[in-house]
Amino acid sequence: MTLDKNQIKAVIAKRVAQELHDGDLVNLGIGLPTMVANFIPEGVDVTFQSENGLVGLGPAPEEGKEEKDLTNAGGQPVTLLPGGAYFDSATSFGIIRGGHVDYTVLGALQVDQLGNLANWKIPGKMVPGMGGAMDLTVGARHVIISMVHTQKGAPKILKECTLPLTAKNQVNLIVTEMAVIEVTDKGLVLKELGPDVTVEDVKAATEADLIIPENIGSFGL
Amino acid sequence: MFNLEKIITIDEAVDKIKDGMTIMVGGFLGCGSPENIIDKLVEKNVKDLTLICNDTGFPELGVGKMVVNKQFKKMMVSHIGTNRETGRQMNEGEAEVDLIPQGTLAEQIRCGGCGLGGFFTPTGVGTEVEDDKEKKVIDGVTYIYEAPLKADVAIIKGVKVDKKGNVYYNQTARNFNPLMAMAANLVIVEAEEIVEPGELDPNCIGTPHIFVNYIVGGEK
């Protein structure tokens, strides 16, 4: 089975969503991580924070019902659920740095076997800036990286990041369309395989050393 | 001491902002930015400013319009990815860009306004953000020192402002605005609507009037 681009993103977002529990406060990064909100299992009550200043993020507004003063951290129009709240940027990052966010889900340019993350700068090429990513990776209790496994065939899960770091030793879990990989003190542990993916496939697409346990789970569409 | 007659025209407001000043601009990707004051600053072409803002907006929205007009010699922001012109000016050496983690930037401004000498944060440890900064280990955790930030002038945006200068913010348009209102020598608020004192619920005021020097607006 070959997955198209949208299916790949959906597989990743759906698997990440299964990590979240009732009562968790979650911050989703821009892009693929934002899709995680569409796959929260039924009956699981998760609260989303957006670092521009709200908790209780709801679904995108219907067309024509956008409010100019209500956006997410990507500047897109959003809604607030009943019981949601607004606050200023210092409070927002107090929430983040203070350890009140249970999970942050972010994309990556590179991630390595020490749990280091690089996602804000390609020197000389692209320098968008770190935005809130450095605070989120340091402050959130769990950091999940959700990304396509390789970049044009080149591994993104490395022995050591070569790009400027966003944070050191902070990543807990990596979810791609090929695998779920846990960052542990001993190294990266392959926990689950994606649809029609073998251990050898993952090894071939990963530069980092992988610990392969006896029992490996699986996930799918 | 604060002035009592606060409502001025937008031209009078912008005349108070001089070449070479350090300016804080409220807003997050344009949401909650004082667009009318920004447009007037573009028109008057005030130059060599140092910007303190969350981001550099979009080329046609928020403070991004001033970036396109090349009014900043330096920009202290957390994100420039939505405005290519900022990256171009940085790469070609036309302007200096200091990228700061968003939470650090917010706290630097908060400290500037609250009379604090800075703070120690775990954000940026082990990255290039820690270069040349003092480090401290507290209870086994490594922190880096970040200094407070102040400005000559802050331009902010409120949805409703009473004639005394109390500001009511709407939704996520609050963001950096109340922090900046405390951290600049001169604070100008752009109001969507100016109301009489007493009309705003005192429980819901985001920035008390004592921080606001001038009010511009009433035009939505």
Across chain B, mean pLDDT equals 96
- Chain centre to alpha carbon of residue B59: 18
- A65 part of contact set with chain B, CB < 8 Å: no
Which among B90, B102, B109 has the least Cβ separation from residue A135?
Answer: B102
Q: What is the mean pLDDT of residues A96-119?
A: 98
For position B4, what pLDDT does the model report? 73
DSSP states of A90-114: HHHHHHHHTT--SEEEE--SEEETT
Residue B136 has pLDDT above 60, yes or no: yes
Percent residues over pLDDT 70 in chain A: 100
Give the DSSP H/E element, type plus range, for residue B113. helix B102-114
Residue with tokens 């004051």: B37
Nearest of A162, A202, A203, A168 to residue A183 by alpha carbon: A168
**B94-109: pLDDT as tens digits:** 999 999 999 999 999 9
CA dihedral A77, A80, A81, A84 (to 10 degrees): 150
Give the DSSP H/E element, type plus range, for residue A193. strand A187-193
**B81-91: pLDDT as tens digits:** 999 999 999 99
**A139-177: pLDDT as tens digits:** 999 999 999 999 999 999 999 999 999 999 999 999 999
CB A187 within 8 A of CB B151: no
Per DSSP (E only), the strands in chain B are 22-25, 49-52, 72-77, 96-99, 119-121, 135-138, 141-146, 151-162, 167-168, 184-195, 214-217
For position B81, what pLDDT does the model report? 95
CB B155 within 8 A of CB B216: no
- A180 part of contact set with chain B, CB < 8 Å: no
Expressed in angstroms, the distance from the first to the final Cα of chain A is 11
Residue B143: DSSP 8-state: E
Task: Return d(Cα B27, Cα B24) in angstroms, integer.
Answer: 10
Best mutation target, B89, B127, B207, to test chain A (most A CBs within 10 A): B127
Q: Do A53 and B175 touch (CB under 8 A)?
A: yes
For position A124, what pLDDT does the model report? 86
Expressed in angstroms, the distance from the first to the final Cα of chain B is 30
Buried b (16+ CB within 10 A) or exposed e, A1-12: eeeeeeebbbbb
Residues in chain B: 220
Percent residues over pLDDT 90 in chain B: 96
Task: Return d(Cα A10, Cα B181) in angstroms, integer.
Answer: 43
Task: Return d(Cα A136, Cα A103) in angstroms, integer.
Answer: 9
Q: Do B102 and A127 touch (CB under 8 A)?
A: no
The structural domains of chain B, ordered by start, are 10-115+148-217 (3.40.1080.10)
Identity of residue A115? G
Which among B90, B107, B171 has the least Cβ separation from residue A90?
Answer: B107
- Residues from chain B that touch A90, judged by Cβ atoms under 8 A, are 106-107, 109-110, 179
Task: Return d(Cα A150, Cα A212) in angstroms, integer.
Answer: 20
Q: Do B80 and A87 touch (CB under 8 A)?
A: no
For position B96, what pLDDT does the model report? 98
The structural domains of chain A, ordered by start, are 5-49+88-218 (3.40.1080.10)
Q: Which of the residues A51, A63, A177, A200 is marked catalytic?
A: A51
Determine whether A19 is an active site residue: no
Around Cβ A205, how many Cβ atoms within 10 Å? Answer: 18
pLDDT band at B212 (very low <50, low <70, confident <90, very high): very high
- Residues from chain A that touch B107, judged by Cβ atoms under 8 A, are 90, 93
Question: A156 CA to chain B: closest CA distance, Å?
Answer: 19
For position B63, what pLDDT does the model report? 97
Nearest of A207, A196, A154, A189 to residue A7 by alpha carbon: A196
Residue A2 has pLDDT above 90, yes or no: no
Task: Return d(Cα B207, Cα B162) in angstroms, integer.
Answer: 11
